Structure 1
Amino acid sequence: MRRAEEVKLWPSLKTGRRDSPNIVTVEEVEIDLNEPCTILGGLNGAGKSRILRALADGLGDTGLLLNVHALCEQVLAVLRSRDDFGEMKDEFGTLGPDTKCRNDIERAVGREYDFVDWYALEIESSDATGAGLFSSSGGELLLPYFDVQYRKVRYSSREMGLGEFSVHLLFWILEQHRDESGLTLILDEPDAYLPPVGSSALLTRLLRVCRDRGWRLVVASHASTMIADALAHDAFVLLRVDDSGRTVAIHSRNDASVGDLLLGKPVVRRVLFVEDESAFVLTRTLVEQLGQRTLRETSIVWGDGSGYMSELQAHFPKPPEPAISFAYVFDGDKRSEISASRDRRWPVLFLPTDMDPDELFKSLRSNCADLAQRLRVPEVELQRRMDLLEGENPHDWVNELGDVYERQRVLRTLAELWVDQNQSLAVKFTDDLRKVL
């Protein structure tokens, strides 16, 4: 699967889902099986594994529950109990993988193999404690065995690291079920042995498999990258234990910040360049209207005027598939001076109105009562201060007020008051920001 197809995968899944929900309630946790993918997360003890087991029990033959961590331990214990499996494979033909499946494995593992051969070895039940999942139609037990070569080094399942082995094992099992329809694939931490980049690649590949086979996917994971992907597409459900000991669920569709409990500092997804500190505070307050997660994923850079932004606009290229988005947010009074960016350059936005932020802030002097309440200072005192500053230009007016009542506090208060009192203009700016980013 090419990168361009990966980018379109989530939207294609959403397009293909049924409009009417198919809610399954598991211990008061609701899971919509008409959603193509649901990622469950939560702190240890929140009940993720228990909910998955109960879901699988309720679905019966239409649910396939795989605890990859436990399966790896079981299969490797058998593989390492004898040293003749390498010879046994010569008695059996290879089971694949085919080109598409091999590509999925290589992408998740992060290796381009010279060759990959899979086998299913028939063994006695006495040699396969805990491996009864892989039963053949004749009643024998089938043991997965993998033989690969990477950069001219050949090795088997026995020598694989846990991350590599877990990916092969997972896709080997999925291939045994490839002809089944209507399955809900239920996975308990399939990425436990993988690095973050592997977790994201694994989820993408699993989504591709489920899309192609018409399956649904429910995954429990601790991986920040997998949770972040799910949050970005309204597919995350946080499980937590309430004060009464019940496991309750919160869907990211209802609370965009629900993943903050499990994620560290969010990855920066966008950078906004602004002219100065006043523009920084106003822009930050406007971006906050889009939600706390959007704010935490946005870095706002300010300098000394618009000159550096014009230079960047002229020379800073925009690649076809950027990992981070950029935009130039000029003050409103620059509308007649700054032109739109040329092709393959990052977009230009303007702060609301035709004034610069300091002018907007000074215009709030007529709202002395509101301003005094937010600054927690006596209205009479604030009015007297502003009377003394009446003749100052807006930039100096803001600076002088900041010197008296602490600069950052004043800037935040002025920005929040202006946004609260100019919601229609604030919404227009955030709509424009969504469009360009």
Structure 2
Amino acid sequence: MRRAKELLVWRELQAAHGGATPNLFTIGAVGAIDLSRPCTVLGGRNGSGKSRLLRSIALNLGDDGLYLDLHHLCEQALIVLRSLKNLEEMKDELGRLGPDDKRLDDVRRVVGRDYESVDWYALDVGPEGDEIAAKFRWGGDTGDDPLTPYFTVRYAGIEYDALEMGLGEFSVHFLLWILEQFKDRKNLVLLLDEPDAYLPPVGVERLLSRLLAICQKRSWRMVISTHSEEMIASAVDHGAFLLLRMGAGGSTDAFHSQDDPTIADTLLARPPIERVLFVEDESAWYLCRALLDHGDRGLSKATSLVWGDGNGYMTPLRSSLPRPPEPELAFAVVPDGDQRGEMSDAPIAGRWPLHFLPGSVDPDELFRTLKDDPAALADALRVDVAELQRKLDDLEGEDAHDWVNRLGEAYGRPHVLTVLATSWAQTHGDESATFAALVRAGV
């Protein structure tokens, strides 16, 4: 499976489960998880309740849920393997269990090693203690004997086994080995507790895509907890992320990325800045940021905004700022919309691009149009609508600049500018998307 196909798996899986009847599992005082969804990625700070939630779901589902705490399973399996003195004899007696060509390709891709050979075995031995041994009865039947996996591989002409593998490599083999024990099960809910903890970022993305492909093939659904930024970002992009937070009284509250695409921002590192946009003033700064946030969240995160004192500095800046053939950082100037008749956005060889803000007036004029829906504006500002209406009546006749300034004096300037810019961008989605597309293409 190559990267292009990996990126399609999300959509294929979601399409296959489209229209499924919701199966809600309540979480704490706020939120719920829909177990009918093909995949949900759980994230949150340590102690937010990710593992507790997975165990609670497993208990609720019974035989229809498969809960795997890969950390603990790996630890116990390695204890068993280290205690055995006759591994070679045991594996020879039992014979090779796998992997088949599909799982071989999966393990190669996730681990990042082009193995010459891989052999999987199932040893008729388990950990000590009934409770732990029960986790190694993969059929779930108490009459089944516990089985411990054992792996041997050949890579770059060197043969080595499970005891010589790093934890990341061993955990990938172990997880895929476990899933093969359940390959004939249908409609299973796979509950994975941080299976990617030992993997580098590139391995995390590949692991997730393969788990999704397995779920699609077997009509499974999956809930997976993680701290991986790559996995969280991918889930947010596909509306499949659930943020857990510790609520009042120690309960766990849940918030879905479908309701708020920015919900995971506190868990993700800011990407490196790729471009700098120069805008006219403070109002333009807030509007430009809101347009990018609403039009292209990823673009916004990688863009820095700089505002000056009007547009007078823009033409000299554009004509003097060097543009090398392969710049590491891109620039653009972004005048207000009322400058369309004064400045040209036609491309000029050797100069950085120019993009106008939407409309044909300055941002304050755009912001003032929001007064036409005082109920929506009051809700956004979190003030009483009657109180706001009195303020708007008092501001009637003010020019746009003074209107914004006085509203800022009443309710706090940063708060007011944020609300005005965000509200305008949200109610003008097409303009936001068009502006973001121009910025991305232009620089």
Give your verdict on TM over 0.5: yes
Cα distance, 1:19 vs. partner? 2.1
The CA distance in 2 between the partners of 1:192 and 1:153, in whole Å, is 26
Residue range with higher mean Cα deviation, 23-32 or 187-196 = 23-32
Shift of 1:218: 0.3
Q: Does 1:299 align with 2:303?
A: yes
- For residues 420 and 207 of structure 1, what CA distance do their matches in structure 2 show? 35
Q: Is the 8 A contact 2:126 2:147 kept in 1?
A: no
Q: Which residue in 2 is equivalent to 1:112?
A: 114
Match of 2:88 in 1: 86
- Native 8 Å contact 2:279 2:333 kept in 1: no
Contact 2:77 2:148 in 1 (8 A): yes
Q: Tell me which of 149, 152, 157 is aligned to 1:147.
A: 152
For 2:364 and 2:32, the matched residues in 1 are separated by: 49
Match of 1:351 in 2: 357
The alpha carbon displacement at 1:432 in A equals 0.7
- Taking the TM superposition and a 5 Å limit, the aligned residue runs for 1:47-126 are 47-123=49-125
| 1:163 and 2:165 correspond | no
Q: Comparing 417-426 with 21-30, which one deviates more in the overlay? A: 417-426
* Structure 2, gaps ≥5 residues long: 307-313, 368-397
Inter-CA distance 348–183: structure 2 relative to 1 (3 Å threshold): farther
Moved more, 114-123 or 207-216: 114-123
Q: Tell me the distance in 2 between the aligned counterparts of 1:278 and 1:66.
A: 55
Q: Shift in Å at residue 121 of structure 1?
A: 2.0
Deviation at residue 207 of structure 1 after TM alignment: 0.9
Letter of the aligned partner of 2:146 in structure 1? L
In structure 2, what is the equivalent of residue 15 of structure 1?
A: 15
Rate the CA distance shift 1:415–1:350 in 2: closer, same or farther, 3 A.
Answer: farther
Partner amino acid, structure 1, of 2:13: L
Distance of 1:77 and 1:185 partners within structure 2: 25
- Deviation, 1:62, is 1.3
Mapped partners of 1:115, 1:235: distance in 2: 36
Q: Who is 2:258 aligned against?
A: 253
- Deviation, structure 1 residue 205: 1.5
Structure 1 residues 78 and 127, CA gap change in structure 2 (3 angstroms): farther
* 1:329 to partner: Cα distance: 6.6
Q: Secondary structure of the residue that 2:270 maps to in structure 1?
A: coil
Question: What residue number does 1:370 align with?
Answer: 403
Contact 1:163 1:194 in 2 (8 A): yes
Give the percent of matched residue pairs that are identical in Structure 1 and Structure 2: 39
CA contact (8 A) 2:124 2:148 kept: yes
Match of residue 183 from structure 1: 188
- Provide the C-alpha distance between the structure 2 equivalents of 1:301 and 1:241, rounded to a whole number of angstroms: 34
Structure-2 change in CA distance of 1:259 and 1:339 (3 Å): same
Q: Distance in 2 between matches of 1:69 and 1:210?
A: 21
**Residues 30, 126 of structure 1: CA spacing in aligned structure 2 closer, same or farther, 3 A cutoff?**
closer
1:62/1:183 contact within 8 Å kept: yes
**Letter paired with 1:14:** Q
Counterpart residue number, 1:265:
269
TM-score by length of 1: 0.74
Deviation at 1:209, TM superposition (A): 1.1
**What secondary structure does 1:80 align onto?**
helix
In the alignment, which residue of structure 2 is the partner of 1:3? 3
Gapped runs of 5+ residues in structure 1? Answer: 318-323, 378-408
Instruction: Tell me how far apart the structure 2 counterparts of residues 41 and 223 of structure 1 sit (CA, whole Å).
Output: 9
Aligned-residue Cα RMSD (Å) equals: 4.3
Measured after TM superposition, the shift of residue 166 of structure 1 is 0.6
* Aligned equivalents of 1:27, 1:422: Cα separation in 2: 34
Structure 1 residues 144 and 296, CA gap change in structure 2 (3 angstroms):
same
What's the CA shift for 1:298?
2.8
The counterpart of 2:216, out of the listed 205, 211, 215, is: 211
Describe the SS at the equivalent of 1:130: helix
**Distance in 2 between the 1:24 and 1:358 partners?**
45
CA distance in 1, matches of 2:302, 2:434: 15
Partner of 2:46: 44
1:179: how far off?
Answer: 1.3
8 Å CA contact 1:125, 1:140 repeated in 2: no
State the shift of 1:240 in Å.
Answer: 1.7
Q: Report if the CA contact (8 A) 2:283-2:363 is conserved.
A: no
Partner in structure 2 of residue 382 of structure 1:
none
Which segment is superposed worse, 181-190 or 293-302? 293-302
SS at match of 2:258: coil
Q: Distance in 1 between matches of 2:432 and 2:160?
A: 54
Residue identity opposite 1:213 in structure 2: R
Separation in structure 2 between the aligned mates of residue 42 and residue 114 of structure 1, nearest angstrom: 39
**1 CA distance for matches of 2:251 and 2:13?**
32
In the alignment, the residues of structure 1 paired with residue 333 and residue 7 of structure 2 have an alpha-carbon distance, to the nearest angstrom, of 27
What amino acid does structure 2 have at the position aligned with 1:229? S
State the Cα distance separating 1:417 from its structure 2 match: 9.9
Q: CA deviation at 1:282?
A: 2.8
Output the CA distance in 2 between the equivalents of 1:192 and 1:358: 48
Q: 1:131 to 1:76 in 2, by over 3 A?
A: farther
- How has the CA–CA distance of structure 1 residues 62 and 139 changed in structure 2, closer, same or farther, with 3 Å as cutoff? closer
Query: Could you tell me which residue of structure 1 aligns to residue 25 of structure 2?
Result: 25
Could you say what secondary structure the match of 1:123 adopts?
Answer: coil
Structure 1 counterpart of 2:19, which letter?
Answer: D
Partners of 2:426 and 2:56 in 1: how far apart?
A: 48
CA gap of 1:240–1:415, structure 2 versus 1, over 3 A, is closer
Q: 1:234 aligns with which of 236, 239, 244?
A: 239
C-alpha displacement of 1:140:
3.4
